[in-house]
Structure 1
Amino acid sequence: MTIATADLYDEHGDALDSLSLQLHDLGGRVAFDGPIRTVRCHRDNALVKAVLATPGDGAVLVIDGGGSLQSALVGDLIAASAVEHGWAGIIVHGAIRDREAIAALPIGVKALGSNPRKSAKDGVGEADVPVEIAGVVFTPGRHVWADADGVLVER
């Protein structure tokens, strides 16, 4: 059972960071949580695809796309692969595509927005490194909670 982020913050706010960036809930699940995994990439989703095709074990992939909305970093096939491999959710500091198909999948997806343009497939980027989004550091292995109210990150 997922704990409401507001209640979690009331109980443990001193040990949590709250992401002030406003993200859209785009997956079939609004509330999700799990250990953090990360990818940092810019307009290239090959590494995102590769990571989400590995066992997720209930983790949440945080993708730092630099806030770019110029091309999508996650589409329906990548999101379906994440479901198949046991990921709890995906948080994208950037765009996704195939919103309607992703909304039908049993996975949490938060992103800045969408763009039908696909991204490059060169594999440029880094995985499992700390990423900072809107002043909040997402460190691999720490926990993240997300729901309709927002995103909380274990410090």
Structure 2
Amino acid sequence: MTTNFTTADLIDDHGDTLRSCSTQFRGYGGRPGFGGPVRTVKCHEDNGLVKQVLNTPGDGAVLVVDGGGSLRSALMGDMIAEAAVANGWAGVVIHGAVRDTVALGRLDLGVKALGSNPRKSAKEAAGRLDVPVTFGDVTFVPGEWLYADEDGIVVNAEKI
């Protein structure tokens, strides 16, 4: 989705109907502002489900990955991110780490994560798909709408 918004303006216009994520993420992708319907993965140091999901049509969605805040291994690198771009995902928010950060910055994909680590994660596809996940004082519910830019992340029950 083309960004015709800023999260600050969305908060000004919609106030308390929006939920603002208090977790301080870093931007790694080449698309600083992004938004779309939420899909989720809940996993811990295992990116198998992340890879599976991002290799399916995204239709402009944003994948929210609750990696439990672990920075011990990366849940996404350049190859998985390239698949996300090819499959039409708007962005990925990872409550955990990424790797290949220079390459991520060249991709037309929104990427927010807590940090980076070159270590690969497990590939067992352990975790849960499309369940509500909570971090940063926000519960991310599949089907709701996420908007992100350099100022942060906001979520609304429906498209704004």
User: 1:20 & 1:41 partners in 2: Cα distance?
Assistant: 21
- What is the aligned partner in structure 1 of residue 45 from structure 2? 43
User: 1:88 & 1:13 partners in 2: Cα distance?
Assistant: 24
User: 2:152 & 2:15 partners in 1: Cα distance?
Assistant: 14
Alignment of 1:1-155 (within 5 A): 1-2=2-3, 3-155=5-157
Q: Which amino acid aligns with 1:43?
A: E
Alpha-carbon shift at residue 14 of structure 1 (Å): 1.7
User: 2:69 & 2:112 partners in 1: Cα distance?
Assistant: 13
Q: Give the TM-score of the pair, scaled to structure 1.
A: 0.98
Alpha-carbon shift at residue 27 of structure 1 (Å): 0.2
Alpha-carbon shift at residue 134 of structure 1 (Å): 1.9
SS in 1 for 2:108: coil
User: 1:138 & 1:74 partners in 2: Cα distance?
Assistant: 19
SS in 2 for 1:8: helix
Q: Which amino acid aligns with 2:120?
A: K
1:19-58 per-residue CA deviation (whole Å, 9 max, x = no partner) reads 1111000000100000000000000000000000000000
User: Unaligned regions of 5+ residues in structure 2, if any?
Assistant: none
Alpha-carbon shift at residue 13 of structure 1 (Å): 1.6
SS in 1 for 2:24: coil
User: 2:84 & 2:138 partners in 1: Cα distance?
Assistant: 24
SS in 2 for 1:86: coil
User: Unaligned regions of 5+ residues in structure 1, if any?
Assistant: none
Q: Which amino acid aligns with 1:33?
A: G
Provide the aligned length of Structure 1 versus Structure 2: 155
Alpha-carbon shift at residue 112 of structure 1 (Å): 0.2
Higher strand share: 1
Alpha-carbon shift at residue 10 of structure 1 (Å): 0.4
